[in-house]
Amino acid sequence: MWAEAAKWLGKFDETVLTGLDVDGYPVSIRVDPRNYDATTGTLPAAFPSTLHVIEGPANLLSHTHDEKMWHLNMIQVKGRLESRSGRWVFQSTNFDAPSKLAFLQFVRNTRTAGQKYLDKRGLKRPPVNWSAVKEIQRRGRARRS
């Protein structure tokens, strides 16, 4: 399973490793996916001590897209962040090769997570100022012309 994860990670120049700090907030750093061990599913990481990272759940996320945010390629490897002999190591626990529907699943999961966040706090979805968005798009197109 980790060999398959290594193959997918190898398609990216870098990946983002996210763990948690002592207050439970996400902390992310960029790491070189070529250092991922296909046999053990581990990846060494060097978190600055100022980030106060702790052992616990973590994940690797890699993605690429074009300048218009299309042609998205992405993968995620779930795991744990562990301190081993004074060094941080990402230990993989789960990897599913991305499907052709990965982007749609990502959008759906993001929308669901956002709605749960709002519901938990008793908030309504904020309105979108579509006229302002369209004006920004218009200005962007004008600059490219």
In what order do the strands lie in the sheet containing 73-84? 26-31, 15-21, 53-64, 73-84, 87-95, 42-45
Contact call for residues 20 and 56 (beta carbons, < 8 A): yes
Q: Which CATH number fits domain 1-98: 2.30.110.10, 1.10.357.10, 3.40.50.300, 3.40.190.10?
A: 2.30.110.10
The residue to which tokens 């004008």 are assigned:
142
Q: What is the identity of the amino acid at 86?
A: G
Q: What is the spatial distance between Cα 105 and Cα 102, in angstroms, rounded to a whole number?
A: 5
Q: What is the identity of the amino acid at 32?
A: D
pTM for the model stands at 0.69
Q: State pLDDT tens for residues 111-125.
A: 788 888 899 999 998
Task: Please report, for the chain, the start and end positions of each structural domain, with discontinuous segments joined by +.
Answer: 1-98, 100-145
Q: What is the identity of the amino acid at 43?
A: L
Q: State pLDDT tens for residues 13-39.
A: 999 999 999 999 999 999 999 999 999
